[in-house]
Chains A and B, each alone.
Chain A
Amino acid sequence: MSDFRAERLSAVRAKIAALETGARPQVGTLPFGDERIDACLPGGGLPLARWHEVCAEGLETEIAAAPAAFTALMATPLVRRGEAVWVLRRDDLWAPGLLGLGFPPERLIQVCAKDEAEALAVMEDALSTVGVAAVMGEIEAPDLTAGRRLQLACEKHGATGFVIRRRPYGGAAKREAPGSASATRWRVASAPSEPPAGEFGLGAPRFEVTLERCRGGRTGQWLMEATHAYESGAYSLETTDVAHPLRLVAELGDRQLAPAQSFRLAG
């Protein structure tokens, strides 16, 4: 009898999990390798075959350097599985910089789009292509329809999308659409680096990362470091079990974000 009960319970649990994740089966996750973050994410890691938003504040809404660096670091493990496509609005992404962070530029196809609609169309096209593992797109503000289209494209072959929120220079800011179809939304800012004691100059790049919204998970705020950035030594695309390029340095206070909010938005 207890067997039957346990079975029913696990079935109900699975159903609830499916409802929470938007009734879509989990394709896989990409764990950060630190329990403090992975516990907040559904399935214990960054959900794959979904799309994620990365945004910033102030000057970075136009330059989007910290979001680009953070996205490249997050996507580096994915690039081992297939090609990456970066949809740009301005031709200012610099391959030597990506290489320094550990992202292999020879696996990246860069596309420069004329306007927002074209950038979204290219993103969608790339996401639904076999052999593409990650697609980064610099988009000002995807509306709900565009978001759902991206999600459908992601599900076709399991590619993961990253929308880097970037405002084109000049012109008024686009009004943000209420709600979003993204799986997670990260707010990224550069944080002061800490060089090892007794050393001059800058330490490894650090980022203050806020998980603002997470479907089927919790929000949080962390300080992260790209420990192996600008380290000499060849990287290999073949090895699969390597540590995530981002290391968690400290957990920051969950300031004004109430966890209940994310569940409401997730519907």
Chain B
Amino acid sequence: MNRHAFSAGLLGLFLFCLTVTSAVSETIILDAEDQFGYARTLYEQGEFPGAAAEFSRFIHFFPEAPQQAAAHYARALAFYMDEQYEKAGKSFGRFRHRFDSSALALAAGMMEAMCHNRLGDPAGGVVLLSNLQVEFKGDAEAQHLLLTRLAWTRLAMGDLPRAEAAFKASAGDVVRSCGVQGILNSLDQFKALPEKSPTLAGGFALIPGGGYLYLGRYQDATVAFLLNVALGLAAAESFDDGNNALGALISFVGFGFYSGSIHGSYTGALKANRQSRESLWKEMLHWGDELEKNQSKSCLGLTLTIPY
């Protein structure tokens, strides 16, 4: 009985080993197309870190594949979409040097400039775009895309007069859906915004509360007026009564409130101007973000899709 059981056990073990061996020997062979396709699928599913890793794998294992340039660009794009702008900028930069004759070199340059924008350094982006303008001299389409990109970059850095000039120069053949006309209208509206003069506000504040009154801040004006008048009268009364020390102390505090109200009026005018302008500026920037979400190349000058 035991001998039978032992034999059956041995037979079972043998069969198990056979199965395992066949399973281990079954290796998956990926070709360049499959690997690129897998990375692209991850990208399209929004799995950007995974896509970047798979594009790196493709670049490493298939160095002779015709999609090498596309894979490098796509990897940089995956970093960009994952908001790793520093890595993305470096990757786009390396792409431009390695594939300088590629049709994507210009696109990579513009994306690199965009990474400067995202990192809070649009001035760096302007320098790069200006260099690209020289590099692609004579290429009308490239010049147009660069001008469009420059307009948006100038807008991002708050250089509105130059942004307006660039938008006007590029708007001629930009499709209506880009909303460039809307941006130009907003810029006109921006110029026409009512402005409070900080100098006038400061000047009016020489009369306590006058500056705030000019700014339409009646409650602040009342407080400033009453405080300054009360402190002035108290100081004068103290000096009259021979309380020089108290008079000096009240005068010191009074000086603080008097100069404080002048400072507050001047700063208030600057802040009021900035507040109304900033909201309009942010609206314009928001329109750029919306266009980017729709991956509108002709409107933004950005190539935000993986080239195949």
The reply to whether chain A is a binding partner of chain B is no
B→A interface (CB under 8 Å): none
Q: Which residues of A contact B (CB under 8 A)?
A: none
